[in-house]
């Protein structure tokens, strides 16, 4: 039976519903499911293009490792990335309060809402992400809200992930 999660831009009041890709990314889907709910300050992609994401402290008992990876996510893809020390580089623009020493290992839970994404970072090269879910309902509304994050600003907005009913 399929499992579903919701992805919400809380201040904007927009929610999309995504199906976990349990067959394609079983370790990542399980790690995320077990850790829900998760939320954090939303950021808009700087390198990838049409992406919003939240950085949260590592939550898996064991990191899932690479599975169902892509460097060209499509609209509706939810991706999982693991980063260590990402806040250390001032070029990325994160405020010092965004992370602490005990949270050096961060999980990036990302939602891709448009086409033509390329996960290539000029400092580190290719950054493949584990595609663990796909949005099946509400993508158009979510896309419009994400575009507003890009043009209207991310400050004060939260990106939240939660379990959804199977219905």
Alpha-carbon torsion (91, 94, 100, 102), positive or negative: negative
CATH number at residue 156: 2.40.100.20
Residues 40-59, mean pLDDT to the nearest whole number: 93
* Sign of the four-CA dihedral 110, 113, 115, 121: negative
Alpha helix stretches (DSSP H) within 26-160? 26-35, 139-152
Would you say 25 and 68 are in contact if contact means Cβ atoms under 8 Å apart?
yes
Q: What percent of the chain has pLDDT over 90?
A: 78
User: What is the predicted pLDDT for the residue at 96?
Assistant: 53
pLDDT tens, 112-123? 999 999 999 888
Per-residue pLDDT of 12-38, as tens digits, reads 999 999 999 999 999 999 999 999 999
What CA–CA distance (Å, rounded) separates 6 from 137? Answer: 10
Query: What does the DSSP 8-state code read for residue 141?
Result: H
Lowest mean pLDDT among 48-57, 84-93, 134-143: 84-93
Q: Does the model's pTM come out above 0.85?
A: yes
Q: Is 149 within 8 Å of 43 (Cβ atoms)?
A: no
What pLDDT does 47 receive?
81
pLDDT(75) > 70: yes
Q: Which domain holds residue 133?
A: 4-164
CA distances from 112 to 38, 78, 166 (A): 17, 6, 23
- The tally of domains found in the chain comes to 1
Mean pLDDT of 99-109: 71
Quick one: average pLDDT of 31-48?
A: 95
Banded pLDDT at 48 (limits 50, 70, 90): confident
**Higher pLDDT among residues 95 and 10, named by residue:** 10
**d(C-alpha 123, C-alpha 103), whole Å:** 21
- Give the tens place of pLDDT for each residue, 137-154: 999 999 999 999 999 999
């Amino acid at each position: 039976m399929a499992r579903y999660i919701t992805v919400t831009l809380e201040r904007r009041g927009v929610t999309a519903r995504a199906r976990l890709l349990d067959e394609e990314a079983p370790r990542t889907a399980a790690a995320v499911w077990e850790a829900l709910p998760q939320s954090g300050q939303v950021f808009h992609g700087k390198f990838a293009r049409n992406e919003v994401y939240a950085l949260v402290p590592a939550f898996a008992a064991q990191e899932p490792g690479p599975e169902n990876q892509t460097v060209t996510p499509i609209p509706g893809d939810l991706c999982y990335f693991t980063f260590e020390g990402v806040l250390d580089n001032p070029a990325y623009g994160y405020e010092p309060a965004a992370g602490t020493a005990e949270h050096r290992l961060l999980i990036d839970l990302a939602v891709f809402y448009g086409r033509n994404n390329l996960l290539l970072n000029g400092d580190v090269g290719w950054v493949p992400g584990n595609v663990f879910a796909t949005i099946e309902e509400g993508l158009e509304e979510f896309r419009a809200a994400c575009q507003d994050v890009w043009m209207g600003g991310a400050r004060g907005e939260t990106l939240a992930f939660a379990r959804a009913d199977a219905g």
